[in-house]
Structure 1
Amino acid sequence: MTQTPSTAVGPTVRARMRSIRWVALALVVIVAVATLTTYLTAARPGGRLDARSTGPEGTHALIALLRDQGIEVVVADTVADVERAAGPDTLIVAAQTFHLYDDDQLARLARLPGDRLVLEPIGTTREQLAPLLRRTESVQFGGLSPGCDLREAVRAGTVQFGAADSYEASEDTSVTRCYDGVLARYRAGGRTVTVVGSAAFVMNSALLEEGNAALALNLAGTQPRMIWYAPQRGEGTESRGDASVFDLIPPQVTWLVWQLVVAVGLLALWRGRRLGPLVAEQLPVVVRASETVEGRGRLYRSRRARDRAAEALRTATLQRMLPRLGLQTGAAPAAVAAAVAQRCGGDPQMLTHTLYGPAPDTDTDLVNLARALDDIERQVAQS
């Protein structure tokens, strides 16, 4: 019994298939790793001073640094979240205070125990959470030195605040003022209240500038638990802040718009044209030459284009006569006139005027020119 000799084709094909599978698997792994890396390193969107945002105006970096130092950070989205986490050994950081417009919210925050750190407070928020301070003027300089003996500020050194508000004591109270009053601190009611007239130094984009990170960590890390409350929208009942444009439209306007829509629809049905069946048409349409010439003549006449009509007549006459005269296109006018005079007689100057002269001034002159050209062409053809 004979055996078929083995060849290397089978193993070679299998080896190539294994190589292709390994390459495909490697490409899948690379794509998966790249996708995962992009997802993990992509910036997480968020509002200003949002603890979850990795954007330029977020505070995710500061929150991460505080947690690395062993501080328990609670990110509160509502006043109720702050109330559940507040205690005597906590620090409440209140930012984005222009969303705290409800008096009941501010009163609830003011009654909570623990220290306070208020960033860029508006007037109503400052009166409730830091009642012993008042705003003086704005500081326009970017980098400021502490200028005080407050431990947190002295350790941080120069800080880049940018444009910021300045504060001073509103009553006969001992207030520590640093950085020309941008940072003010006092102690009352068993708690420490700190107000900073700028929040730029805690943002992700400015945390690495000079002593910004040090001051932010020193101020936010004074207690074992820190509650970060930076509301991104209002919670009050007077103005929720999340109403859409349609919620602001009165009901009467909505009914008026629907009436207009119905009226326009009925008008479209009334005036609209209905398409009928397709009509078969034999193309191309044959147009007689006489109709084309008549149409062009009427067009020239309506526009008083006697010059263009005369030029068209002379060009057509010359194109038909030159082959009969043995001349080429573009021959000199004198040579053409001499050849025509030799064939049928006539004055060369008069022939030159007829074949190459100026445009006629009137319609009668244009008709006479057409007749003269026809006579010349007929005589050349018959000679």
Structure 2
Amino acid sequence: MSVTAPPAPPPPAESRSTSPTARSVWRAWRMVALVGVVTVLVSVIALLVGPDRGPSRPLDPDDTTLAGSKALAELLRARGVTVDRVDSVRDAADLAATGDRLLLITDMMYFDEFSLSRIPGDRLIVGNVFGLEVLAPGVRTRPGQVRARSREPECSLPAAVAAGSAYMGGFAFHGPSGTTGCYRFGGGSTLISFPDSGRTITVVGDGSFMSNQRLAEDGNAALAINLLDTGRPVTWLVRPDNPPRRDLTAGESRRSIYDLMPAGIVWALFMSVIALALTAFWRGRRLGPVVTEKLPVIVRAAETVEGRGRLYRARRARQRAADSLRAGTIDRLTPRLGLGSGAGAHEVVAALAARTGQDPQQIGAALYGSPPADDAGLVGLAGYLDFIERQVSEL
């Protein structure tokens, strides 16, 4: 009596957790997080580039940015040196009329060098300013710029000797007779000082050592103070705060590229950056999980042979196809003929001729001859090689 086994119970249903995962929470709230990040970014940008914050003014004694020289001006005032910031030739001339002063020139874009050259007193010219041939007669600028780095003075100028190494570069100069050159480069000097008609003119190739960013490095502060603290008040000439209302003695107005830009160009640039970031985030998102495929993929040998044959035909590679057919035939026939893998052509041809009774010259031409000239010759070669193999296999 046969007993039928009861059916197997169904497998228990797979349990799935209904609690939210990190991925599901991110998908649900990512737009909210993105909007929050953009809001914070716009707020930070508004604080940094608000209407009350103007651009930096290089070597300006009232500018506290890295490019300004507020720190140097305060150090000079702490030593009892009077520092007067002016932005016109007229103001500089008015101060010069009150007594002997040192004129510091850092920018000549908006000034007339001929009007400025009539101001008496010593001059300190920083940078390769316009009109150097008028403000510093006899000075020639060496072609090319000099990489700014820490340099040794290598001169006898007291201000440079006391300061030691300083961050110098920019331009190198050659001065007239009696010039003392310091911080040399390529035959020129990045700081020169020479007498001229009862006054002293000093020219420096780059004013980075006077900026707030570089003042605390090396002997930069000592060099700047030594050049400016001469016991006389300093007239510090800077570019005008409002260039269109510059000094009227400077001739025709010259506007900078910043004056030609629209007022909202900064906001437009920042909005473009934000839009580009949002577009990159939107288009760069993942398209889904990577699809896996079981390997190895089985491909029939006939498909592989047919594919390679089509490639050879498309490239007209008859010689390569013939070499492949011949090499395969020789590899299969050599062990059947009792020959080793290193057997030469004469041995293979002689063994095949003895086994099959074929003409040795015909066999040699088929296995080691020149490549076929056309597709018909290649087909004929393949047929003959197959004929030889079948004959050897049947014997």
Shorter-chain TM band: 0.3 to 0.5
TM-score by length of 1: 0.48
- TM-score for both structures, normalised by structure 2: 0.46
Higher helix share: 1
